[in-house]
Each structure stands twice: as C-alpha cells, then as structure tokens.
Amino acid sequence: MTGATPTPFPAGAAHGDAAPDDPTGDLAVELRIALLRTARRLRSQKSVDDLTDAQFSVLAHLHVHGPRTPGELAEAEHVRPPSMTRTVAALEGAGWVQRTGHPDDGRQVLVLLTAAGAAAVEETRARRSAWLRERLARLDDDERATLAAAARLLRAVVQE
C-alpha cells in the first residue's frame, strides 16, 4: 500500500449521491464506501461461520455488559422483542448463551453468556484485530499516522 495514491472518483460518478461542486459530498461518498467495505471485511473474520452478524452482536453486548433481559437486548440492538426472542433461542440452542431467572423479578429471565459464547467473542475479536493489524503493517509511518488522526475524527463524527 505504501506509495499508492487513492484516485478519487468524480462527484456522483457511479456512486450517485454527491452533488456537483460539493467537496463534503465527495468525501462523504468515499468514506461511506470505504467504511462499508472495511466493516464487511472485518465482519467476515469470525471464529464461527454459522454465527450471524446479529447473533454475534448480541454475544458481544453480553460480553461487554453482562447478563441482560431479552427486552434490554432488544432495545440495545434496536430490534423488536419477538426478533430478540428468536435470536436468544437460536443462541441458546447452539450453547452460546443460557437463560436464568431474574434475581429481582420472577417474571423476567436473564440471558447469560456461556464460556463457549465468551470464547467465540474473544476469538472473533482476535481474528478481526489480526486481519486489520496485518494490513496496517503494510503502510508506512505517515500513512498510519494519517489513519490514527482519521480514526479520532470518525469517532467525533459518529458521537455527534
């Protein structure tokens, strides 16, 4: 990658939504495409092939935040409760999570990550990090510094 010069495409060319004479529109199109392709490649680096992105997202949420009710998971994942019920059932059937009674509310259940679920999350994260590290190692110091600055800016953009 060192020495490669990105070739920006003309405003709106083939990617459709940048207005002519709008430099932020061109940048938005380029970033959108680059980020989507990067995210797609990262998502493909997982430890379990039959684990869907939505299922992995639930496992990762439980890994970070601990046991949650199906309703809390649905809210966090921006899905309807019946969808989360199906996701939890599939994860439980595969041995990635287990359900247990809620200690404070007998009408509720908590979804807990099993050791196998935690291992799947950790291995997937390790694979994704390794994939990205290997590609970043191909860049020179200036290119990596540029990406570090871009990462800070992107975090600021999405936190607004």
Percentage, residues of the chain above pLDDT 90: 69
What pLDDT was estimated at residue 16?
56
What pLDDT was estimated at residue 26?
86
Cα 114 from Cα 88, distance rounded (Å): 12
What pLDDT was estimated at residue 38?
92
pLDDT in tens, 77-112: 999 999 999 999 999 999 999 999 988 888 889 999
Task: Provide φ and ψ at 94, rounded to 5°.
Answer: -85, -5
Does residue 29 carry a pLDDT above 70? yes
In this structure, are residues 41 and 59 in contact, taking their beta carbons and an 8 Å threshold? Answer: no
Yes or no: domain 48-160 corresponds to CATH 1.20.1250.20: no
Q: How many residues does the chain have?
A: 160
Does residue 8 carry a pLDDT above 80? no
pLDDT in tens, 117-148: 999 999 999 999 999 999 999 999 999 999 99
pLDDT in tens, 52-64: 999 999 999 999 9
Q: What is the mean pLDDT of the chain?
A: 88
pTM over 0.85: no
Nearest residue to 117 (alpha-carbon basis) of 51, 71, 69, 73 = 51
